Every structure is written in structure tokens, then in C-alpha cells.
Structure 1
Amino acid sequence: MNLPNKLTVLRIFMIPIFMIVVLGSFDWGQVTWLGSTIEITQLVGAIIFAVASITDWLDGKIARARGLVTNFGKFADPLADKMLVVTAFIVLVGQGVVPSWVVAIIICRELAVTGLRLLLVGDGEVMSAAMPGKIKTATQMIAIILLLLNNFPFAGMNFPFAMIMLYICLFFTVYSGIDYFVKNKHVFSGPM
């Protein structure tokens, strides 16, 4: 297994660690800075999520630079992203931070695009991530980090950075899903 694929697998293994930290009954106290306060568990969870997100950028960069792009990576990398993002959004719904209808749309899109990928694999094709999908993933990951931090350390500014980013990511989630289906509509024209 090459380095980019190992980073993808590492990202998958970081998901339960993220969940244990954020959902566990840990009382590590709070941090206050610039008039904002945050639970240390949320801060550590955001750091774990950020590190996992960086592995997404890093594995793709290494794979392209070193010619290590594999079919496993083309399939597993976006799947690992979906697992990480969907898990984090479900956690945030459970914490009452994100509206459930937003996460329902995101999950439906992720399942639909994963289903499309499986149909393409059945036809011997591999669907690589397109630019709208990459923007979607980046905006989702940024939104999740901001939501986990609850606008820390900018909460005192009373400006909803996190919620604005959430709705930007929702737009790109829907747009990129439509883009994938339009670009791969040929899969629906033949027998299933």
C-alpha cells in the first residue's frame, strides 16, 4: 500500500477517535480567549478533525506529484471523506449545533453520489473527484471545524461565521451532486 492510500486509511481510523473525544464524558475544562470560551473536548475534536481533513489534501497532493494515483485511492479517498464528514455532521446534529434538515440533504447527496460511483465501477469506470466536489469537500470540512469551535475565538464578534459557512457548503454539496449526475448521465441510458 502506497503512502497516499495509507493516509486515506489513517483518516478512516481517526473517525472513531474523533467521536470518542467529542462524544465522551470527558471534562477537560474550558479555554477562554478574546472573550470566547470553548470546551477543551470540542477544541481537541476540532483539531483531530482538522488533522484528518489535512490528510485528505495531503494524500491527493502526494499521489499526483509522485504518480501514485490508484483505483483504490480514487474510490477510497472520497469514501473516507464522506465517512469523516457525515460522522461529524451527525455529531453536530446530536449536539444541537446544526439543523437536521441540512445534514439530511448532505447525507442524501453523499449516498446518491456513492451509488453513482458504484454503478460506474460496475461498468468498469472510476469517477474521480471533479472540481465542484473538491470545493464541496473543502467547504464542508471548514464548516465543520468552525461549527466544532462554535466561532471560537470570534464568538464575541457576534457574527455567525460557522453558520454562513454551513450554508455555503450546503450549496456546493447540492451543486456538486447535480454536476456528477449530469456528467455521468450515460450510466442511466443502458440496461441496469
Structure 2
Amino acid sequence: MTGGPGSPAAARPAQPGAAKPAVPSVWNLANQLTMLRLALVPVFVVLLLADGGHNPKWRAVAWAAFAIAMITDLFDGEIARRQGLVTDFGKIADPIADKAIMGAALIGLSVLGDLPWWITAVILARELGITLMRFWVIRYSVIPASRGGKLKTLTQGVAVGMYVLPLTGWLATGRAVLIGLAVVLTVVSGADYVRQAVRLRREGLARAEEAKAK
């Protein structure tokens, strides 16, 4: 591997006039997908609540909008990392878009009586709490997304999407089991994030004390 921290190329100072790395445009593909997801939030809400909220045709169209939003969530971050399109806007907008579409679905389904409010409350409280936790420790380090967190997101998306559809029979039973699993993963992964945040803050404070002592 060339260009590593210990390589001759890394040791040489940058030449005057050398081209600086191009700053990715805010209007890159990854951010466009994120903005599409944000734009789909009000569209999804209107479709979900159309004709009283229980018309099978409108619910199917609402599911399509929700599915598109979830698909953009799978690709925008990956595109940004692989193509070097990470921007400050994307770092802020991406999690906002994620929580906006999921929050809209949960609240809308609870308003319609299709999803118990306690499930919506648990999931939204966890998402808000973890967001605040990230800001609490951001000066020390960034809490990375865990496998449990990613599995939670996938399970939530599939389960909530199934609740958007007017399912009956074994499919309705299956989605109830899946949303139960999503709640468990939500709580467990949330507890793991809290543990990481406390550890990172403790380590950060220790480093700060060591720096003062020198």
C-alpha cells in the first residue's frame, strides 16, 4: 500500500501550488437522495392519511413512497463514502431525514389506530435520546453505528412498512412479531449506545486531565 502514514510520499511536504483535494458539491448524488427522502416525508403523510387513512389503494401508494425513502437511506451514505462525497450538509441532513420518515410513519399509524402509541413512544424516545447523546460526546469522539443499530434500523423499516400495508391473516401476525423484535432491538442497541457514550466521555475527560497536567 502506498501513501500511508509512514511512506515517503506521506513524509514529503506538500509542494507549493499543489492541487488541493476537490471539495464535493452539496448537490452531489448522495445529498440529492437524502433531499429526496426529506421531500417524500410530507408526500407520504398525505398518502397515508388520504380518504380517512384506511383506503387500501392509498395505503399501497403510501407504502411505495415509504419504500422509496427507505431505499434511498440504504444508498446515500454508501455512495457518499465510496465516491468521496461526504459533506457537512449530508452529515446533518441524513439522520434528520431518517428520523423524519420513520417518525412520520410511526405517528401516522398510531393516529390511525393501527400501531399502539407505546411502541411509537419507545422508538421515538430512543431515537431522540441517542441523537442528544451523540451531541453530548461529540467533542470527545463520534459514536460509530453498531451492527445492532443497523439491524434495528432494518427491522424497524420492514416492520413499519408492513404496518403501512393493509395486511390480514398470517402476514398481520408476522408484522406484529417483527415490530416486537424491532422494539427489543431498539432498546438493546440504545443501551449499547449509552454505554459507549459514557465510556467515550470518561476517556475524553481523562485525556483532557492528562493534557492539563503536562
Q: Which deviations, in whole Å up to 9, do the C-alpha atoms of 1:130-156 show, x marking residues without a partner?
A: 2222111111110111011133xxx34
Which 4+ residue blocks in structure 1 deviate beyond 6 angstroms?
Answer: none
Select which of 19, 26, 49 maps to 2:45: 19
Q: Distance in 1 between matches of 2:92 and 2:193?
A: 15
The percent identity for this pair of structures is 37
Select which of 118, 131, 151 maps to 1:135: 151
TM-fit CA distance, 1:71: 4.2
TM-fit CA distance, 1:20: 0.9
- Secondary structure (helix, strand or coil) at the match of 2:86 reads coil
Select which of 163, 166, 179 maps to 2:192: 179
Is contact 1:74–1:127 with CA below 8 Å preserved after alignment?
no
Q: Distance in 2 between matches of 1:12 and 1:18?
A: 10
TM-fit CA distance, 1:124: 6.1
Structure 1 alignment gaps of length 5 or more? 31-38
Q: Larger deviation: 71-80 or 16-25?
A: 71-80
What is the letter of the counterpart of residue 76 of structure 2?
A: D
- C-alpha change, 1:158 and 1:105, in structure 2 (3 Å) is closer
Work out whether 1:113 is the aligned partner of 2:130.
yes
Q: Distance in 2 between matches of 1:98 and 1:83?
A: 17
Match of 1:33 in 2: none
TM-fit CA distance, 1:109: 0.3
Q: Which has the bigger relative contact order, CA under 8 A and spacing at least 6?
A: 1
TM-fit CA distance, 1:91: 0.5
Is contact 1:14–1:52 with CA below 8 Å preserved after alignment?
yes
Q: Distance in 2 between matches of 1:93 and 1:24?
A: 15
Q: Distance in 1 between matches of 2:90 and 2:193?
A: 18
Match of 2:177 in 1: 164
Match of 2:86 in 1: 69
Written as runs of structure 1 = structure 2, the 5 A alignment for 1:48-87 is 48-87=65-104
Q: Distance in 2 between matches of 1:126 and 1:6?
A: 24
Match of 2:59 in 1: 42
Give the root-mean-square deviation of aligned CA atoms. Answer: 2.4
Structure with higher Rg: it is 2
Q: Which has the higher strand share?
A: 1
What is the letter of the counterpart of residue 142 of structure 1?
A: V
TM-fit CA distance, 1:158: 6.5
Q: Distance in 2 between matches of 1:113 and 1:178?
A: 9
Match of 1:34 in 2: none
Matched positions, count: 178
Select which of 36, 40, 43 maps to 1:10: 36
Is contact 1:18–1:48 with CA below 8 Å preserved after alignment?
yes
Match of 1:145 in 2: 161
With structure 1 as the length reference, what TM-score do the two structures score?
0.82
Is contact 1:81–1:137 with CA below 8 Å preserved after alignment?
no
